[in-house]
């Protein structure tokens, strides 16, 4: 083959990905990666706010009680989804690069990998801490309901050596509980889970009392309304 024929053959090589395509793909990957790390950062900040404030139950959705810290998990999953998209774009770009017969410029991603690893460790540690501190909360709807359908709900939490909780009501078809009282106990005691309570309704007012005096608890009686 003559030099002219070789030049023609070289100029007719198929172009799988232009340099503009490469830049566009790398910018797209950067945006998805940044969105993923932003979601993880928001999850960490939100989890710390939940831990510091002690916020627990948020609402009942379709019979399932949703806690504030669950929203941190959702943000973490959103971050994972964004990073998966970034990874898919990166892998597809690498495949196109291998199919390209020309040498295209490469960009190192060491900082991105290290940043993602550090962010993953921080996120996992923070969510583990928030689960240990507030993830053990248990919400129970007590029977009977009021004649109008109002339900008394209690939220029970416990730490290393103590227990505490809230007492409130949930209106018929309601989502957000109306908290009206609190209690504390020793030795991680959960009186409502153990059935040590009595509930009576009279003229739209519910009287909830603890009936097990074996554990020091205060207070031991609440009058709740819807």
Question: Which residue shows structure tokens 């689960």?
Answer: 131
Instruction: Report residue 106's pLDDT band, with 50, 70 and 90 as the boundaries.
Output: low
Whether 214 shows a pLDDT value over 90: the answer reads: no
Question: Which residue shows structure tokens 């404030």?
Answer: 53
Whether 51 shows a pLDDT value over 70: the answer reads: yes
Nearest-angstrom CA–CA distance, 210 and 163: 14
- Mean local confidence (pLDDT), 92-121: 77
Highest mean pLDDT among 43-47, 53-57, 187-191: 43-47
Joined tokens for residue 86: 């970034």
| CA neighbor of 155 nearest in space, from 135, 172, 129 | 135
Nearest-angstrom CA–CA distance, 37 and 49: 18
Checking DSSP bridges between strand 221-225 and strand 205-210, what pairing results, if any?
antiparallel
Cα torsion 165, 171, 172, 175: sign: negative
Domain boundaries, the chain: 15-134, 138-225
- Give the up-direction half-sphere exposure of residue 74: CA atoms within 13 A in the CB hemisphere: 7
Please state the pTM of the whole predicted model: 0.69
pLDDT, one tens digit per residue, over 141-168 is 898 888 888 899 998 887 767 778 889 9
Q: From start to end of the chain, where are the E strands?
A: 57-61, 64-67, 138-142, 151-158, 162-170, 178-186, 197-202, 205-210, 217-218, 221-225
């Amino acid at each position: 083959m003559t030099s002219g024929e070789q030049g023609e053959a070289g100029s007719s090589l198929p172009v799988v990905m232009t340099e503009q395509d490469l830049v566009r793909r790398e910018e797209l990957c950067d945006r998805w990666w940044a969105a993923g790390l932003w979601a993880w950062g928001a999850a960490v900040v939100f989890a710390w706010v939940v831990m510091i404030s002690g916020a627990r139950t948020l609402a009942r959705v379709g019979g399932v009680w949703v806690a504030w810290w669950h929203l941190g998990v959702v943000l973490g999953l959103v971050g994972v989804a964004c990073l998966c998209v970034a990874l898919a774009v990166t892998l597809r770009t690498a495949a196109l690069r291998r199919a390209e017969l020309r040498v295209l410029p490469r960009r190192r991603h060491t900082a991105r990998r290290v940043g993602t690893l550090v962010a993953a460790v921080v996120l996992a540690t923070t969510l583990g801490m928030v689960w240990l501190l507030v993830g053990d909360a248990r919400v129970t709807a007590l029977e009977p309901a009021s004649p109008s359908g109002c339900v008394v709900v209690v939220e029970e939490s416990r730490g290393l050596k103590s227990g505490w909780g809230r007492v409130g009501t949930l209106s018929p078809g309601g989502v957000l509980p109306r908290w009206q009282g609190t209690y504390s106990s020793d030795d991680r005691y959960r009186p409502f889970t153990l059935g040590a309570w009595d509930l009576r309704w009279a003229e739209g007012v519910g009287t909830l009392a603890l009936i097990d005096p074996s554990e020091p608890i205060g207070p031991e009686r609440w009058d709740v309304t819807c």
